[in-house]
């Protein structure tokens, strides 16, 4: 093959070096079979002269392709194509473009999605810049969390929750799910399949995570205010731990009276049951002040407080914390250390800066106002409907709506989705109890306009479109 027949055109104005252009075009020619093995390529001197480039350009391109195995050098015998036709890459076929379905925007009222994240705020960005400017860290972050973030969390709990917490008792986690895995791993050092009692209805993710981590999950039917201590005497066998949401029963929304909490603690102390208090959204109270955390009540029982930044900031962060005490605290710290699963160091630094500079407090105050406003919108749309029963509006970022008997919540959710509104039936939260007919409506993330539109759609469907039972 004459040099001039080589399919090579070099562009001197291109930013791509000439040697790279040459190598790319020769490689393509070999793969497409235009230049086949054992074809001899022209000498570097000859090809350089033909192409009007320096010899070094051709030498570099040949070396590149020899290194990749497309060419082989034979000394004075020249340079040959080394790739046989039968091992050439199959012709590249362009995959058919997936037919683009016109995607209908969905207003997502799934609970657990907070208001706008603070990610675009100046103080959030300043915090990240400060974290990134810290001198290079070349070690693993500390297993239990950085000293600064643990102290910042203790400070946050003091102001936001009135809790006196020692920074030494804080373990930084990647959120509640991570915390639950850690707890089960720690409990398994004492018993191979620890029993964990959970509320029914309750947080389905917690049930799943506990079981996947190796716990035996027992459920206890609870009222909207959580479990009653008298029920505990009937629980057999006695569990190793009990997971509760006393500040805001998830999802029904009540709060566990102090008397019940004290009785629960007494039972836990007597039977050496570890109390796991999931304090997932206490920052957002709309009417009444939150009760003090169960972890702060006087008791011999061991209580672990589980906190998360998923609702105060965003689930995207994957960051939360545990507040631990006593022998269980020691066990959890040892287990965390042995697992070597610290939370990302840069994230911890940025979050510590953000909390220390007051960014978290400002963001929470802003979010609280937004939620209060959206809660008012929800009441405005739904409270005057005698057929609907509204609950769980004391705090947080979701509400529970019980539906009139003939409307089936699951059918309603399915039909609502075809009308561009995603809602979650209450049934999803029940493990064994017969579920109530209702919806859990998250109002954290949608805008006022989206929320109003979504609620109007739901009401219209209840009135006209949804198949009624029976």
Ligand X SMILES: Cc1ncc(COP(=O)(O)O)c(C=O)c1O
Q: Which residues bind ligand X (CB under 6 A)?
A: 112, 175-177, 203, 245, 250, 278, 280, 308, 310, 315, 320
84, 37 contact by CB (below 8 A): yes
SS3 185: helix
Q: Please, which residue, 250 or 443, has the CB nearer to ligand X?
A: 250
- Here the tokens at position 274 are 């570890």
If the CB atoms of residues 35 and 171 are measured against ligand X, the closer one turns out to be 171
Length of the chain: 470
| Shortest distance (Å) from residue 89 CB to ligand X | 45
Question: What's the rounded Cα separation, in Å, for the pair 412 and 439?
Answer: 9
Q: How far is the CB of 180 from ligand X (least distance, A)?
A: 8
On the CB side of 219, CA atoms within 13 Å amount to: 19
Cα Rg of the chain, angstroms: 32
> Cβ closer to ligand X: 203 or 443?
203
Nearer to ligand X, 42 or 320 (CB): 320
Which residue number, 178 or 408, has a Cβ lying nearer to ligand X?
178
Least distance from ligand X to the Cβ atom of residue 165, Å:
18
The CB-of-374 to ligand X minimum distance in angstroms stands at 17
Cα 83 to Cα 70: distance, rounded to the nearest angstrom = 5
* Residues 260, 24: Cα–Cα separation, whole Å: 75
Q: Rounded to the nearest whole angstrom, what is the least distance from the CB of residue 110 to ligand X in the complex?
A: 9
Which positions ≥6 away from 178 have C-beta within 8 Å?
318, 320, 341
Nearest Cα to 458, choosing from 381, 373, 370? 381
Q: Which residue is nearest to ligand X (CB)?
A: 175
Residue 212 C-beta: closest distance to ligand X, Å: 13
Q: Phi and psi for 259 in degrees, rounded to 5?
A: -60, -45
The answer to whether 420 and 458 are in contact (CB under 8 A) is no
3-state secondary structure 324-371: CCHHHHHHHHHHHHHHCCCCCHHHHHHHHHHHHCCHHHHHHHHHHHHH
CB closer to ligand X, 178 vs 240: 178
The CB-of-90 to ligand X minimum distance in angstroms stands at 45
Nearer to ligand X, 124 or 203 (CB): 203
For residue 196, the minimal CB distance to ligand X (Å) is 14
Residue number with CB closer to ligand X (177 or 349): 177
* Separation of alpha carbons 470 and 18, rounded Å: 77
């Amino acid at each position: 093959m004459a040099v001039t027949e080589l399919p090579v055109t070099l562009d001197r104005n291109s930013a791509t070096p000439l040697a790279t252009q040459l190598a790319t075009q020769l490689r393509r020619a070999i793969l497409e079979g235009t230049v086949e093995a054992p074809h001899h390529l022209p000498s570097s001197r000859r090809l350089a002269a033909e192409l009007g480039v320096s010899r070094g350009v051709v030498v570099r391109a040949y070396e590149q392709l020899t290194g990749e195995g497309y060419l082989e050098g034979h000394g004075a015998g020249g340079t040959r194509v080394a790739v046989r036709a039968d091992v050439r890459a199959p012709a590249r076929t362009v995959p058919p473009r997936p037919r683009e379905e016109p995607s209908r925007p969905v207003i997502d009222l799934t609970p657990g999605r907070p208001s706008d994240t603070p990610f675009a705020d100046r103080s959030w960005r300043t915090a990240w810049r400060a974290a990134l400017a810290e001198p290079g860290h070349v070690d693993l972050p500390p297993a239990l969390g950085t000293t600064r973030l643990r102290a910042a969390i203790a400070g946050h709990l003091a102001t936001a929750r009135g809790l006196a917490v020692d920074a030494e008792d804080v373990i930084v986690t990647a959120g509640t799910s991570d915390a639950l895995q850690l707890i089960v791993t720690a409990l398994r050092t004492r018993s191979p399949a620890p029993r964990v009692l959970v509320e029914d209805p309750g947080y389905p993710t917690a049930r799943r995570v506990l079981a996947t981590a190796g716990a035996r999950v027992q459920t206890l039917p609870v009222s909207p205010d959580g479990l009653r201590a008298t029920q505990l005497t009937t629980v057999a066998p006695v569990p190793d731990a009990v997971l509760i949401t006393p500040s805001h029963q998830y999802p029904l929304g009540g709060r566990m009276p102090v008397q019940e909490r004290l009785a629960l603690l007494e039972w836990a102390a007597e039977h050496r049951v570890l109390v796991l208090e999931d304090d997932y959204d206490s920052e957002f109270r709309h009417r009444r002040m939150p009760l003090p955390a169960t972890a702060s009540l006087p008791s011999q029982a061991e209580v672990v407080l589980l906190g998360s930044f998923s609702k105060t900031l965003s689930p995207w962060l994957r960051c939360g914390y545990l507040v631990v005490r006593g022998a269980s605290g020691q066990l959890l710290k040892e287990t965390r250390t042995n697992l070597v699963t610290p939370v990302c160091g840069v994230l911890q630094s940025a979050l510590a800066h953000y909390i220390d500079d007051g960014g978290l407090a400002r963001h929470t105050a802003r979010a609280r106002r937004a939620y209060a406003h959206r809660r008012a919108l929800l009441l405005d749309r739904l409270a005057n409907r005698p057929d609907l029963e509204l609950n769980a509006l004391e705090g947080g970022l979701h509400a529970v709506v019980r539906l009139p008997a003939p409307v089936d919540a699951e059918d309603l959710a399915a039909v609502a989705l075809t009308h561009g509104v995603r809602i979650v039936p209450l049934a999803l939260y029940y493990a064994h109890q017969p579920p109530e007919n209702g919806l859990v409506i998250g109002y954290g993330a949608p805008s006022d306009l989206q929320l109003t539109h979504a609620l109007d759609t739901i009401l219209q469907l209840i009135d006209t479109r949804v198949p009624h039972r029976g």
